[in-house]
Amino acid sequence: MLLVISPAKNLDYQTPATTKQSTTPDFLEHAQLLIEELRGLAPQDVSKLMSISDKLGVLNYDRFQQWSLPFTADNAKPAALAFNGDVYTGLNAESFKADDFKFAQKHLRILSGLYGLLRPLDLMQAYRLEMGTKFENQRGKNLYEFWGDIITQALNQQLKSLNSEVLVNLASNEYFKSVKAKTLNATIVTPVFKDWKGDKYKIISFYAKKARGLMCAYAINNRITDAEELKGFDLEGYGYNEAMSSEKEWVFTRQLDG
């Protein structure tokens, strides 16, 4: 079983990493090509491209200019500890011990607009470049065309090394579009998390994102390699809802107090 998640816009490079372990991303040469092109943008171009404020435009312009190889513990941070959004609150990689990271390195991947595909311990420098960004580049009109088959081939390689034919999609639609489902050598299972609101179960973004991270943590902490065992996921009140689920979409529901 292989799990995939999205990155986060928010980053934390202030808090020291809780592990000295690290690895090097597989596709740094591709990331460097993107950086070289992104460096040609003025701060206002970055703001316009990403639909962000002038202040954030300047911040990310500076990030592109400062990006440099090689990555070290002094200028980069493991991806699972650098991302700081709702998914990563649920993942809580800061609590991982060495054996947890070892398992996560094999079974968890982070999709990325800049880095393509990251393992939890892969060092990364700060950036913002969402997969859906329509950044015209030397390989096409957007990042999906830039990455082409690269991400899918890498996932296939890891699935083969795990002797697995199941990929658990815990990423957003924007990011999972970078995976070519037709050429992925796996059955894709997509967990969906719904909370009771009003008079029915609904996907509430904040809770759903956190639950994706919680499910990854559940798999890592319990050393789950068979996706079927994820149906036992019960953190923070969620439970598998067989009646609402289908073969490839597994629904987990929760009824909050009050």
Minimal CA–CA distance to 200: which of 254, 257, 258, 237?
254
DSSP-assigned letter for residue 71: P
Task: Assign 136 a pLDDT band (cuts: 50, 70, 90).
Answer: very high
Strands of the chain (E only): list them.
2-5, 77-78, 108-112, 116-118, 123-124, 166-170, 187-197, 200-202, 239-240, 249-254
Minimal CA–CA distance to 62: which of 125, 118, 111, 147?
125
Residue 258 pLDDT > 60 = no
> How much is the pTM?
0.97
Give tens-digit pLDDT for 173-217.
Answer: 999 999 999 999 999 999 999 999 988 999 999 999 999 999 999
Half-sphere exposure (Cβ direction) of 226: Cα atoms closer than 13 Å: 4
Give tens-digit pLDDT for 35-83.
Answer: 999 999 999 999 999 999 999 999 999 999 999 999 999 999 999 999 9
Question: Rounded to an integer, what distance in angstroms lies between the CA atom of residue 212 and that of residue 246?
Answer: 18
**Is the CB of residue 154 less than 8 Å from the CB of residue 4?**
no
What is the reported pLDDT for 257?
63
Pairing of strands 200-202, 108-112: unpaired
Pairing of strands 77-78, 239-240: unpaired
Question: Rounded to an integer, what distance in angstroms lies between the CA atom of residue 69 and that of residue 75?
Answer: 9
Give tens-digit pLDDT for 77-118.
Answer: 999 999 999 999 999 999 999 999 999 999 999 999 999 999
Look-up: residue for tokens 């990364």? 124
Question: Rounded to an integer, what distance in angstroms lies between the CA atom of residue 70 and that of residue 48?
Answer: 30
* Domain ranges (residues) in the chain: 2-254
